[in-house]
Amino acid sequence: MPILWILCSWESTYYAAHLIRTWWSKFVLFVCGCWYKIAWGKPIDKKQNYVVVFNHTSHLDIILMLPILYPMFVRFIGKAELSKIPLFGKFFRSIDISVKREDADDAQRAFRRADADLNLGHSIAIAPEGGTSKNPPQLRNFKSGAFRLAINHQVPVLVVTFFDNWKIMPSNGQPKGPHWGRVKIHAPIETKGMTINDFELLSKQVRNLIQSDLERVYPNEMKS
């Protein structure tokens, strides 16, 4: 913790802090008995920067995202409340980007910083639902920010589907015991040539991908 605290104090050492927190997350997942199986739609170039989007059903999502995308340098956009969590909150006050969801000015600040990070070649991860699902595995409506970012910077969208996190660590309940978690990482969706007028089409395409994944695995739950 002291080492992470120091490394999170300067922009020049953020990448080192990111690598340490990635290995920390691997250790935590292993000790807690949370193992994962990854299905790849297509091998990805981890030197490329992306806008990473995912279905958000659990606090486990971000912890699991770190090792499956390693060694990519990913900065998360998340709610400001996360910055109050010990250690984890330090990341959201430095490496990552916290945003007050009901504050339009703060949201603009957060997306300006995301713009700067994408220009530097970093990847940005954001849950387009804007928060955890209230009735997982069902999806909430998608917000436009992630897709506008991707189109503005002409970077690919990397779609991640988490199948089991809502059962392993419910956002409003008690964590389960040891469990295998399934993850699907789709082939990146290219945005080159798209204009800002295409963001709704891109959003619908991404939502349909995740929706179809979940309907295949949880047909009954997705109908309720």
Tokens of 186: 């789709």
| pLDDT in single tens digits along all 224 residues of the chain | 788 878 888 889 999 999 988 998 899 899 888 889 999 998 899 889 999 999 999 988 988 999 999 989 999 998 766 666 666 677 777 888 888 777 778 888 888 999 999 999 999 999 999 888 889 999 999 999 999 999 999 999 999 999 999 999 887 767 777 888 999 999 999 999 999 999 999 999 999 999 999 999 999 999 86
Give Rg (Cα) of the chain. 17
Q: pLDDT, tens digit, for every residue of 116-158? A: 999 999 999 999 998 888 899 999 999 999 999 999 999 999 9
Question: Residue 43 corresponds to which tokens in the numbers above?
Answer: 């091998």
Angle at 150 between CA 144 and CA 155, to 5 degrees: 165
Domain that holds residue 101: 2-223
Dist. CA 15–CA 207, nearest whole Å: 31
The CATH number assigned to the domain holding 109 equals: 3.40.1130.10
- The structure's pTM equals 0.92
Instruction: Give the contacts of 199 (CB within 8 A, at least 6 positions apart).
Output: 144, 147, 148, 151
Helix (H) or strand (E) holding 16, with range, is: helix 14-31
Q: Please tell me the total count of domains within the chain.
A: 1
Cα 134 off chain centre by: 17
